[in-house]
Structure 1
Amino acid sequence: MNTMQILSVVVFLVVMAAIVTEKVHRTVAAVAGAVVLVCLRVLTVDDAVGYIDFNTIGVLIGMMLFVAVVRNSGLFEYVAIKAAKIAKGNPWKIMLLFIIITAALSAFLDNVTTVLLVGPMTIAITGILGLNPVPFLLTQILASNIGGTATLIGDPPNIMIGSQAGLSFVDFVLNTGVAVVLIMIAVCLCFYFLYGRKMVVEPDKMAAVMKLDEKKSIKDHSLLVKSVVMICLVVIGFVFHSSLGVDSCIIALASATIMLLIGKQDTEEIVLGVEWSTILFFTGLFVVVGGMVQTGVITTLGNALVAVTGGNTMLLMVLILWGSALFSSFLDNIPFVATMIPLILAMQTDGMDVSALWWALSLGACLGGNGTLIGASANVVLSGISAKHGHPITFARYLRVGFPMMLLSIAISTVYLLVRFH
């Protein structure tokens, strides 16, 4: 390794250590890491800016603004009460219902959008029942990343893979979609034994939920109608944005702009509703990871992964699956996927059947995001929402649940791929 590579790795490890130990706020750690890379001339300012994924940043800001306006209509409280009444106030049934809703929405919406919609609902209903929302939010983080793996548009790595490999929406449903169903069944069983059996709600609180009138939670009927219409349009926009050749950030920012114009809310209050510390955290982290991309560290790691297989496709499939999962637990999965795609295309050119490798990369990169609190955008965003409502989710607490669940999902994926392509 040359000097620049060593510096990029050291800065990355120091930033990760600061985040894991929580000695320094994660936003400060990420931004400081980015600044150090520029000061050490590992990256120029232009290079650093180039590694910031403005599409992700745009989606984050756009949907945070959008949700901040919609929230004032009372829609989330309405849906939360309605869902709780369908579950008859049973905490496990509510958790399971929200898991299914989150996974299903994440298959068609951006994961961040999904958790921004479902998170406030969860906090509202657990508050009514007097329950700690953290277990509910943890299950939703996992469900959002698992659900997003199922389709072409559910997660950015899938969009990249589908584009480069010429894979369709149906291809993803028939391959990663099947694996996701199996994983969701296993994960829900784990959640039942982990949380479901232990949650108890007093009968009077369950009865109180059943007596609630969800219609009374509507604060602004006009805004509610506008919100429902706009949510439908946002869903359509995200489903078809790749076909229309429009970036997802444009859909998000356009939706936010329209809601700000027609919602007639206090703009300053809405802007303050954006999790700006989360935005800065992602910005800094993109630059820190970019340092390793720029110096060739990630490319070297990818090449090593391919070299150790000796041309065995099944072994390579398993290594790509587990390697991408472990990398994606700590690194942003987009640079890793961007590095692996040319390597797989090169093997295809050499005559190797690489069909299994695409699905290994997709499952590993998307499901790997569940490994740690910084593994995916949804993790960071929902943990930020939880902290804002007085229920912080620490890195260590998430790790105790997320990492074992990630290992379970990758183990199931391994068996599925071996049976599917053996």
Structure 2
Amino acid sequence: MTPLILITFVVVYLGMAIGYLPRLKVDRTGIAMLGAIVLLVAGAVSEGAAIKAIDFPTLFILLGLMILSAQFALSGFYDWCAWRLANVPWKPEALLAAVVGVAGGLSALLANDVVVFAMTPLLCAGLRARGLDARPYLIALACAANAGSAATVIGNPQNILIGQLGHLGFWRFLLACGVPALLSLVVVYLVVARVWRGRLTDGQPQGAPTPPPGAPGAWQLAKGLIGVGVLLVVFTTPFPRDVAVLGIAGCMLISRRFASRDMLGLVDWHLLALFAGLFILTGALADTGLPTRLVDQLTAMGLPLDRLPFVAGFSVLASNTIGNVPAVVLLMKVWAHPPEGALYALALFSTLAGNLLLPGSLANIITVERAAISGIALGFRDHARCGVPVTLISLLLAAVWLVALGYVAVV
């Protein structure tokens, strides 16, 4: 069955790079699920092996964090933040800095994809009402959400996976990745302000000002903040993280105001299905023994996986072709015993590399799609003008930081 597994793996990851199957409306999640189904139907993977390959603790943590983030979304917190940003009487440059700071800060503790999903429409409406070109602010929103999420082990799906499989502590992760993430937020602001300097001016207001969405519900917001506080405390203890996060999510679901259907509707089930399909696919590939032999050959050639050139090169290339989540799932499956410092490097580089091009991060795609619904076109070139320099400078700063502190070696 090894040839079938290899063919299926290649087809799936080519589909990941393209983003769809030609002439079919099958996206990346569908491609991953179809690959797993092919292996199951053909008998290349048994039901027991498929279930064993899925890392359920990682999926539980993702699910729990999405429900926690949904608590903030339904409380009106994200809408309130977006409206305040768009309507604060600041100069355009100060407003840009506020967008970067808020998006980066929220994404460090909550799911970055949910942050941009919730904030984009109201931010677009507010900026248009002020007569501002929304494009630089939306680019800053997406790039800052990616950069800010790199700071913590719960900031994005790939960090959650790396932290879970590598048993990385919350505060040690923040110590290693927090400074590069913060520097990257500064880079996002400086680059966007520089590239769009001629467009950061107040123009002719279009339409009536957007009405305020109403202050977030005090108790519902407090409930979410308590959940975040408990989460941070639990992540410093040996208590199982997946069980703790699910427990917090269960408390969020117990509500007299928000229907469970509405909260669960904000969960990115497609991302969870993508993870499950990739776990099965990469698990089958790992069982063939081929990845292990490939790793041994790379090491023999003087290119071990824990060195900076490999981690950085793999992250940039894979994140902007197959996507950072599939790339991390694949690498973590074949990397038997990665050192802690190399895991910090993988988390940083795979996340920051997502800013390079528009398809490099799901947050980028969500921002573009939500902006299009609001009537604002944000193209590939618009993003690349900022994304390329932001990524190159951010990766350089991250590399210098990691090498200087001894987290990863160059050779």
Range class of TM-score, shorter chain? 0.7 to 0.9
Structure 2 residue aligned with 1:318: 309
Instruction: Rate the CA distance shift 1:41–1:30 in 2: closer, same or farther, 3 A.
Output: same
Note if contact 2:54-2:279 (Cα within 8 Å) is conserved in structure 1: yes
Assess if the C-alpha contact under 8 Å between 1:34 and 1:287 holds in 2: yes
Partner of 2:214: 217
Determine which of 155, 160, 171 is the counterpart of 1:156: 160
What corresponds to 1:76 in structure 2? Answer: 78
Q: 1: distance between equivalents of 2:266 and 2:97?
A: 28
The answer as to 2:251 corresponding to 1:258 is: yes
1 CA distance for matches of 2:372 and 2:61? 21
In 1, distance between residues paired with 2:30 and 2:301? 38
Contact kept, 8 Å, 2:171 with 2:236, in 1: the verdict is: no
Counterpart in 2 of 1:413?
Answer: 398
Tell me how far apart the structure 2 counterparts of residues 283 and 392 of structure 1 sit (CA, whole Å): 33
Q: Aligned partners of 1:228, 1:258: CA distance in 2, in Å?
A: 13
User: How far does residue 132 in structure 1 lie from its aligned partner after superposition?
Assistant: 7.6
Cα distance in 2 for partners of 1:250, 1:196 equals: 48
Say whether the 8 Å CA contact 2:61–2:160 is kept in structure 1: no
Alignment check: 8 A CA contact 2:355 2:391 kept: yes
1:233 is displaced (CA, Å) by 1.7
Residue number in structure 2 paired with 1:351: none
Contact 2:58–2:161, Cα closer than 8 Å, also in 1: no
Q: Secondary structure of the equivalent of 1:198?
A: coil
| Partner Cα separation in structure 1 for residue 374 and residue 47 of structure 2 | 36
- 2:222 aligned with 1:229, yes or no? yes
- Unaligned 5+ segments in structure 2 are none
Q: SS of the residue aligned with 2:302?
A: coil
Give matches, 1:26-41, under 5 Å.
Answer: 26=27, 27-41=29-43
Q: 1-side partners of 2:72 and 2:330: how far apart?
A: 33
Q: Cα 1:287–1:133, aligned 2, differ >3 Å: closer, same or farther? A: farther
Counterpart secondary structure, 2:335: helix
Q: Alignment length, in residue pairs?
A: 395
Q: Alpha-carbon deviations, 1:288-316, whole Å to 9, x = none?
A: 44443343454444434433327899xx3
Q: Deviations over 1:378-405 (max 9, x none)?
A: 5676677667778798999877865664
Q: Which residue type is aligned with residue 100 of structure 1?
A: G
Letter in 1 for 2:118: P
Q: Which has the higher helix share?
A: 1
Q: How far apart, in 1, do the equivalents of 2:63 and 2:294 lie?
A: 33
> Are the structure 2 counterparts of residues 180 and 47 from structure 1 closer, same or farther at C-alpha, using a change threshold of 3 Å?
same
**In 1, distance between residues paired with 2:280 and 2:296?**
22
Between the aligned partners of 1:96 and 1:243, the Cα distance in structure 2 is: 32
3-state SS of 1:262 partner = coil
2-structure distance, mates of 1:22, 1:247: 42
- The share of aligned pairs that are identical, in percent, is 24
What is the Cα deviation at residue 5 of structure 1?
5.3
* 1:124 to partner: Cα distance: 0.9
Could you list the runs of 5+ residues in structure 1 that have no partner in the other structure?
345-354
Task: Give the aligned CA root-mean-square deviation in angstroms.
Answer: 4.3
Structure 1 window deviating more from structure 2 (384-393 vs 267-276): it is: 384-393
Deviations 1:78-126 (A, max 9, x none): 222333344x26555434322222323333x25x2x4424542332122
The SS at the match of 1:217 is coil
Query: Structure 1 pair 382/239, CA: closer, same or farther in 2 (3 Å)?
Result: farther
Q: Which residue does 2:348 correspond to in 1?
A: 363
Find the aligned partners of 1:16 and 1:232 in 2 and give their Cα distance: 36
Letter in structure 2 aligned against 1:295: T
Q: 1:279: how far off?
A: 4.0
**Structure 1 position 192, deviation (Å):** 2.0
Q: Does 2:234 match 1:238?
A: no
**CA drift at 1:60:** 4.7
Distance 1:369 1:276, change over 3 A: same
2:214 alignment partner AA = S
CA contact (8 A) 1:152 1:162 kept: no
CA 1:204–1:145: 2 relative to 1, 3 Å: closer
* Structure 2 contact 162–332 (Cα < 8 Å) conserved: no
- Kindly indicate whether the alpha-carbon contact (under 8 Å) linking 2:356 and 2:387 is maintained by their aligned counterparts in 1: yes
Q: Is the 8 A contact 1:33 1:288 kept in 2?
A: yes
2-side partners of 1:60 and 1:396: how far apart? 32
